[in-house]
Amino acid sequence: MKTPAINIKNVHLSYNNNAGDINILRGINLEIMPGEAVAMVGPSGSGKSSLLMLIAGLEQVTQGKIEIFNENITDMSEDELAIFRGKSMGIIFQSFHLIPTMTSIENIATPLNILGYIDPSKKAAEILDLVGLSNRRDNYPSQLSGGEQQRIALARAVATNPKMLLADEPTGNLDSAAGQLVSDLIFNLKDNFGATLLIVTHSTSLAQKCDRQIFIKDGIIE
C-alpha cells in the first residue's frame, strides 16, 4: 500500500485573543496520495489557507499531527522545517512574493542558491523557458504584468524539482486570460515533475481540473 504524500491526523488550529479562543480548524483528517491533484474549496474564512500554511510548515498546529512523505513535520524545529520545505515543496502565493530588487532569473535561482546547486543560473534559465518568459529574464517584478509575475513565481516554485506543489489562490489576482495561462502551466509542470498538487482556490474551472475536491466550511471537512 502506498504511503500518503500528506497525512493529516486530527489537526486543530486555534488562536487566543481577548475574547477567548478562536477555532480555525477543528479535527481535520485527510490523506493525499503521491501524484494526486487536490483542490480545497469553500467559503472565505473557512480555514482553507490556514490548512495549507500548516502543511507548508509556516504555521504550527494547536493539536494533532501532519506527516509529509512519512516525515512528522509537527515535531520539526524551524531550521529543520526550512530545510525540508526547500527540498520537498514548491509554494505559490496569490500575491506572488517575488523579491523586488531581483530580476526574473535571480528570483528563480534563489532557492537553487540556498540548496547549493552548482549552476543555478543555467537551471533557472531552463525553468524560465518552460514558463515561456525567457525574454523577461532581466526584468524586475515591477516591469512585469501580474500574470508574468505569477509565472515567475511558479517557475521559482518548481526550480528545485519539488515532490509537492502548494498553491494558495494562484489565479486570484489575475484576469481570466492570465489566470487560464497560469492554471494550464501549473498542471503542465505538475505532470512534468510528477509532483503532488494541493490548491486552495475559489475558481471552479481550476478546481475541476483536479482529481478531487475537498470542501471545507467552518474549519471542518464536509
What is the per-residue pLDDT across 37-91, written as a single tens digit (0 to 9) for each? 999 999 998 999 999 999 999 999 999 999 999 999 998 999 999 889 888 999 9
- The pLDDT of residue 217 is 94
- Is pLDDT above 90 for 201? yes
Instruction: Evaluate whether residue 19 is within a structural domain.
Output: no
Task: Say whether pLDDT at 18 is over 80.
Answer: no
Does the residue 67 lie in any domain?
no
Q: pLDDT band for position 173 (50/70/90)? A: confident
In the chain, how many domains are there?
1
CATH of the domain at 186: 3.40.50.300
Return the pLDDT at 140: 96
Residue 65 lies in a domain: no
183 assigned to some structural domain:
yes
Say if 1 falls within a structural domain. Answer: no
Q: What confidence score (pLDDT) does residue 171 get?
A: 87
Cα Rg of the chain (Å, integer): 17
Check residue 20 and give its pLDDT: 72
Classify residue 178: in a domain, yes or no: yes
Residue 24 in any domain: the answer is: no
DSSP result, 45-114: TSSHHHHHHHHTTSS--SEEEEEETTEEGGG--HHHHHHHHHHHEEEE-TT----TTS-HHHHHHHHHHH
Taking only the tens place, the pLDDT of each residue in 87-131 is: 899 999 888 889 999 999 999 999 998 888 889 999 999 999 988
3 in a domain, yes or no?
A: no
pTM score: 0.91
Task: Count how many Cα atoms sit within 13 Å of the Cα of residue 88 in the half-sphere of its side chain.
Answer: 19
Supply the pLDDT for residue 1.
Answer: 67
Q: pLDDT tens digits, residue range 125-169? A: 999 998 899 999 999 999 999 999 989 999 999 888 899 999 999
pLDDT of residue 114: 86
Please give the residue range of the domain that contains residue 197.
Answer: 35-60+74-221
